[in-house]
Amino acid sequence: MGRLRPEEISSILKGAITDYESRVRTEEVGQVLEVGDGIAQVFGLSNVMYQEMLEFEDTRGEKVLGLALNLEEDNVGAIIAGDDRHIQEGSTVRRTGELASIPVGRGVLGRVVTPLGEPMDGKGQIDFEEDRDVEVVAPGIIRRQPVSVPLQTGLKAIDSMIPIGRGQRELIIGDRKTGKTSIAIDTIINQRDQDVKCIYVAVGQKDSSIAGVMGELEEAGALEYTTIVNASASQSATAQYLAPYAGCAIGEYFMERGEDALVIYDDLSKHATAYRQMMLLLRRPPGREAYPGDVFYLHSRLLERAARLSDERGGGSLTALPIVETKGGDISSYIPTNVISITDGQIFLDADLFNSNQRPAIDTGNSVSRVGGSAQIRAMKKVAGTLRIDLSQFRELQSFAQFGSDLDAATQATLSRGERLTAILTQNEGEPMPVEEQVAVIYAASNGYLDDVEPDNVLDFESQLLDRLRDSHGEVLAAIRDEKEMSDATKQKLDEALARFSESYRPLDTGTIANVVAGEPEGEAESSEGSGGSGEQGG
């Protein structure tokens, strides 16, 4: 009785498996049944996997990549990622046995790439380190750890009231032209000294907008740690569909090396539209708002890949800021409700606030961050603690005050404080502010140091105050930054500095400001006798 040794068994099995694979390979060639609009129906690839890369051979003998997305009983619906003009009925299609992947590596930083990793900026070849599957399974709960490190956006209204933590997913949502992209770009610019790699994914935008974004980042010295993945409106729906996954894969590359990364998806409304277009061409049955039934899954499997990994896994993080466009402020339509339910909170931008020059136009009442509070530095938590309530009381009183009834002193005080708080939370784009400076100015506003400053002068007060603090009280700012805490000693020093500064504060050149606001060119103020604003100069 011959005994089989384990090594023999395993070598026989191995042989069988290798044989099996090679047999499968040779069988897996199909033919195009029908092609058009970047979509092909393919016959004869019965073993193909969902999301497997296919190789089409076109009439010029060139190979074009495709992606199997619709697996039906006797044919496969595939999207063509490249030039489909030379693919015809009868063209050969081969399986690759590999899922869609893109090349990643440190070399993508500072570059603009297509979703398949090809350079788009004319700066030459990119050095890649590895191929990463475009779709991977998100880290499970055991591989994660809670969000506890802040991702500073540099925007006062966000870092104080809607704080974001590294590894969090926070939605930026609002109508068109309400400043959504600006918030994302400022956040990238603010990562300059924070060692966070950034990926800006542009879906279905105009090429000129992307050039603008690139210029802004370059000017701010932020391009060197940023990658732009661009699938513009001039590119195929396929490219637009793949772009967010490609951007995510680049972010994961850094996260898995223990680094911190931030990815912006601008925007997922256009991403859903591209997916809808593809799926209608693939004849998937349309559902609500004509989107295919799995459009929720489209975004959930993308966003759940944002994470903060456990220390055993290197402790890296990927923070995601998806952007969604609403129509008429309606957050209850299909894509907004989906993405709101997948993310850890939302920053809601309001067109009316934007038009009344409250910018960034964040509707603080409707904006939340469900996890970032635990990531906020203690000093900020302390000074911003009552900000949200103060502002909501202010808004409530404001609507009463409109009726013109007599107001008691306490109400007037709340109103005037509220106006100054609202003013201090406005911020120009392209000017993100370090957290210690944010703490100082919010402290000043909520402790009454601005109560005698005209709301129009609040930002001037702020900039003069910050100059003073940087020049003469650097140690106060440094203490907040380094201790991340507002100790009693720091508080006392800050109070002293604020008291002295507010006493000496004079608004800078109010005449000029009034003219600029009135839209008049400087020096051409013929009507200045009548306007009270410039009386100071004449007096």
- At closest approach, how far in Å is the CB of 370 from ligand ATP? 23
Minimum CB distance to ligand ATP smaller for 38 or for 432: 432
Q: How do strand 29-36 and strand 39-43 relate by DSSP bridges?
A: antiparallel
Neighbouring residues of 156: CB distance < 8 A, sequence distance ≥ 6: 424, 425, 427, 433, 438, 441, 442
Q: Is 370 a catalytic residue?
A: yes
Residue 360 makes contact with ligand ATP by CB under 6 A: yes
Element (H, E) at 68: strand 63-71
One of 18, 355, 428, 527 touching ligand ATP (CB under 6 A) = 428
Show contacts with Mg ion in window 17-76 (CB under 5 A). none
If one counts every other C-beta atom within 10 angstroms of the C-beta of residue 218, the result is 13
> Which amino acid does the sequence have at 47?
N
Rounded CA-CA distance 271/112 in Å is 19
82 binds, among ligand ATP, Mg ion, none (CB under 5 to 8 A by kind): none
Residue 95 makes contact with ligand ATP by CB under 6 A: no
Minimum CB distance to ligand ATP smaller for 176 or for 378: 176
CA atoms within 13 A on the CB side of 358: 19
Show contacts with ligand ATP in window 303-332 (CB under 6 A). 325
Kindly state the tokens that stand for 482: 């380094």
- At closest approach, how far in Å is the CB of 203 from ligand ATP? 11
Burial grade of 429 (CB within 10 A; 0-12, 13-18, 19 or more) = middle
**Number of amino acids touching ligand ATP (CB under 6 A):** 14
Terminal Cα-to-Cα distance of the chain (whole angstroms): 118
- At closest approach, how far in Å is the CB of 268 from Mg ion? 12
Residue 178 makes contact with ligand ATP by CB under 6 A: yes
Rounded CA-CA distance 525/412 in Å is 34
Rounded CA-CA distance 521/519 in Å is 7
Binding range to Mg ion, per CB under 5 A, among 133-141, 177-185, 327-335, 436-444: 177-185
Q: How do strand 196-203 and strand 101-104 relate by DSSP bridges?
A: unpaired
132 binds, among ligand ATP, Mg ion, none (CB under 5 to 8 A by kind): none
Residue 271 makes contact with ligand ATP by CB under 6 A: no
470 binds, among ligand ATP, Mg ion, none (CB under 5 to 8 A by kind): none
One of 427, 438, 457, 510 touching ligand ATP (CB under 6 A) = 427
Kindly state the tokens that stand for 123: 């700066």
Burial grade of 321 (CB within 10 A; 0-12, 13-18, 19 or more) = buried
Q: How far is CA 338 from the centre of its chain?
A: 17
Minimum CB distance to ligand ATP smaller for 75 or for 205: 205
Neighbouring residues of 115: CB distance < 8 A, sequence distance ≥ 6: 102, 229, 231, 239, 242, 243, 245, 246
Please confirm whether the linkage preceding 360 is cis (ω < 30° from 0): yes
One of 110, 115, 139, 179 touching ligand ATP (CB under 6 A) = 179
Neighbouring residues of 536: CB distance < 8 A, sequence distance ≥ 6: 510, 511
Minimum CB distance to ligand ATP smaller for 132 or for 180: 180
One of 359, 381, 420, 473 touching ligand ATP (CB under 6 A) = 359
Question: Is residue 150 within 8 Å of 164, Cβ to Cβ?
Answer: yes
Binding range to ligand ATP, per CB under 6 A, among 220-228, 293-301, 425-433, 462-470: 425-433
Find residue 54's DSSP bridge partners.
66, 95
Minimum CB distance to Mg ion smaller for 180 or for 271: 180
Binding range to Mg ion, per CB under 5 A, among 174-182, 311-319, 468-476, 479-487: 174-182
Counting other chains too, the contacts that 473-479 makes at CB distance below 8 Å and 24 or more residues apart are 473/497, 476/440, 477/436, 477/437, 477/440, 478/436
Binding range to ligand ATP, per CB under 6 A, among 40-48, 68-76, 311-319, 424-432: 424-432
Interface map 190-209 toward ligand ATP (x if CB under 6 A): --------------------
Kindly state the tokens that stand for 198: 């950034």
Minimum CB distance to Mg ion smaller for 177 or for 370: 177
Residue 153 makes contact with ligand ATP by CB under 6 A: no
Q: Which residue is nearest to Mg ion (CB)?
A: 181
Minimum CB distance to ligand ATP smaller for 152 or for 414: 152
Query: DSSP letter at 533?
Result: G
Binding range to ligand ATP, per CB under 6 A, among 17-25, 171-179, 310-318, 456-464: 171-179
Binding range to ligand ATP, per CB under 6 A, among 62-70, 176-184, 498-506, 507-515: 176-184
**Number of amino acids touching Mg ion (CB under 5 A):** 2
Residue 181 makes contact with Mg ion by CB under 5 A: yes
> Which amino acid does the sequence have at 494?
L
Please confirm whether the linkage preceding 267 is cis (ω < 30° from 0): yes
Distances (CA, A) of 496 to 91, 480, 503: 79, 15, 11
Catalytic residue selected from 370, 470, 500, 506: 370
Residue 364 makes contact with ligand ATP by CB under 6 A: no
Catalytically active residues are 370
Positions that interact with ligand ATP (CB under 6 A): 174, 176-182, 325, 359-360, 427-429
Task: Write out the residues near Mg ion by the rule CB under 5 A.
Answer: 180-181
